[in-house]
Structure 1
Amino acid sequence: MIISVDMLDKSGVDYDWRTLYVGISINLVECNELTTYALKIMDDDKYEDDELINELAWGIEDNLKGEILTKMLLKFNFDMLIPESTSWKLEIRKLRYVILNYLRSTIEDDNELLRKIEEVYADFNYPQDMEEFIAYMPVKDNSSTHSHEDNKKRMINNLDNFLTAEKKEVDAK
């Protein structure tokens, strides 16, 4: 799933150029979202003229992705923003939260929601903290004594609890 600036805004997650940099690096955000974000930054009364932000506001060709990422890395001085670093992992968690929150708020059918969540689970390399709301993962609370509907409700409830806790976690860092 591709994340837009609009999705980031609606999620309430505190994001910035780092989040977009990581998202583009792992193909969760398209380069044209940099234009959207640059225009948003330029609309702020506190905006001070910036060559890179002005360039991004004019639009970006997808074939310039590597060049743009390099410029961002140099311009915004992303210290320690390398794969597997703590900062990188935090940005990944933000992006995952945005996707899960978007799915939860836009998909009303529980079966479809749980199927989409399983795709996110796979896309993010099967994170252990998502297992409680993945249908094919073993459960810890003797679900065999409950109906299919009860188990589905349990997973949705676990998802909701996860989203609440995850939002607090990504906001606290």
Structure 2
Amino acid sequence: SNIDFNPVEDEDSSRILFEIKCHFNLVSEKNNDEYKLENRKLRFVYLSKLNDEVTDDKKLLDEIEKFYDNQGYPEDMNTFIEYMPQDSYTNCKILILRFHEFLNLEGEQLRLI
């Protein structure tokens, strides 16, 4: 059974984060460590799903870029965003490799928390 994948729209991610916040009874918005952790988990799940479902590299980078823009430009994602300045030469394949490295590291770190 193949699951249809529709990227989370900005308003959906905001609603989901609001529900997470309410569920955990978080008082101090985005400065709360618990909120940051839940946001990080949601980001990991979303990006993993994108990675699994979008097979075209250019389209994948475009979808990642939309997510990055909607999430307020998280600095830890800069290395695989096409329009961000890079330390060295990059192309589509290199950006995808960096994205996969990011996902693997995030997955490992989140499992340890």
TM range (shorter): 0.7 to 0.9
TM-score (norm 1): 0.52
Identity of aligned residues (%): 33
Confirm or deny that 1:102 pairs with 2:44. Answer: no
Aligned pairs, number:
103
Change (3 A) 1:80 1:159: same
The residue number in structure 2 matching 1:27 is: 15
Q: Following the alignment from structure 1 to structure 2, what is the Cα–Cα distance between the partners of residues 157 and 101?
A: 14
The residue number in structure 2 matching 1:83 is: 29
Q: Following the alignment from structure 2 to structure 1, what is the Cα–Cα distance between the partners of residues 87 and 36?
A: 27
User: How do 1:1-173 residues align onto structure 2 when only pairs under 5 Å count?
Assistant: 1-2=7-8, 26-28=14-16, 73=22, 78=24, 80=26, 82-84=28-30, 85-141=32-88, 143=89, 151-173=91-113
Q: Following the alignment from structure 2 to structure 1, what is the Cα–Cα distance between the partners of residues 35 and 109?
A: 15
Change (3 A) 1:81 1:100: farther
CA RMSD of aligned residues (A): 2.6
Q: Which has the larger radius of gyration?
A: 1
Secondary structure of the structure 1 residue equivalent to 2:86: coil
Decide whether the 8 Å contact of 1:2 with 1:28 is kept in 2.
no
- TM-aligned CA deviation for residue 112 of structure 1: 0.4
Change (3 A) 1:81 1:2: farther
TM-score (norm 2): 0.78
Decide whether the 8 Å contact of 1:133 with 1:158 is kept in 2.
yes
Q: Following the alignment from structure 2 to structure 1, what is the Cα–Cα distance between the partners of residues 62 and 92?
A: 11
Listed as ranges, the gaps of 5+ residues in structure 1 are 4-23, 30-65, 144-149
Change (3 A) 1:165 1:81: farther
Listed as ranges, the gaps of 5+ residues in structure 2 are 1-6
Runs of 4+ in 1 over 6 A off after TM superposition: none
Q: Following the alignment from structure 2 to structure 1, what is the Cα–Cα distance between the partners of residues 65 and 13?
A: 22
Q: Following the alignment from structure 1 to structure 2, what is the Cα–Cα distance between the partners of residues 115 and 87?
A: 29
